[in-house]
Structure 1
Amino acid sequence: MPPNVAGTGSDRASFLRSIKLVAWSFLGIRSNKGYRDDLSKVNPVHVVLVGLIGALVLVIGLISLVKWVVAS
């Protein structure tokens, strides 16, 4: 079986590491060494997908917050 089959444990670990990497990046508090370590162990496609989803959630959350504040 090829090592990069979708759904393998390393694929899932890479995706979870990508979520962690993007979350730290959004907060801006990740150390440079930790960032380099994580970056060497993640799939770039996962990082892009998680980044886009995170940005979308952030924008929708901010729009919802503004609508709620303006309505009250």
Structure 2
Amino acid sequence: MSDSKETKKRDASFFQAMKAVFWSFLGIRKKNDYEQDAAKLNPIHVIIAGLIGALLFIGTLIMIVKQVVAK
């Protein structure tokens, strides 16, 4: 497959990658949606979105633990 076809094939935005990662964190993905995302999303966007999602998740857990321990 040529580079131009590969670039054209993966034209999803970073926001779409964030949305796909969010739904994946929840574990609610249809097989059809997963296959469409796999064809469209840029792997670099998915990695960055996953790291951002993980940091947000860890930050949320830390804030919850601080609130519980403070009481």
Q: TM-score range by the shorter chain?
A: 0.7 to 0.9
Q: Which has the higher contact order (CA 8 A, sep 6+)?
A: 2
Look up the match of 1:28.
Answer: 27
Moved over 3 A (4+): none
Secondary structure of residue in 1 paired with 2:40: coil
Q: For residue 20 of structure 1, report the CA deviation from its aligned partner.
A: 1.0
- The residue identity in structure 2 corresponding to 1:22 is V
Tell me how many residue pairs correspond in the alignment: 63
Q: Distance in 2 between matches of 1:44 and 1:38?
A: 10
Look up the match of 2:58.
Answer: 59
- Superposition TM-score, scaled by structure 1 size: 0.78
Q: For residue 48 of structure 1, report the CA deviation from its aligned partner.
A: 0.2
Q: Is the 8 A contact 1:21 1:38 kept in 2?
A: yes
Counting aligned pairs with the same residue, the percent is 51
Q: For residue 14 of structure 1, report the CA deviation from its aligned partner.
A: 2.0
- The residue identity in structure 2 corresponding to 1:42 is L
**RMSD of aligned residue pairs (Cα, Å):** 1.6
Secondary structure of residue in 2 paired with 1:64: helix
Q: Is the 8 A contact 1:22 1:47 kept in 2?
A: yes
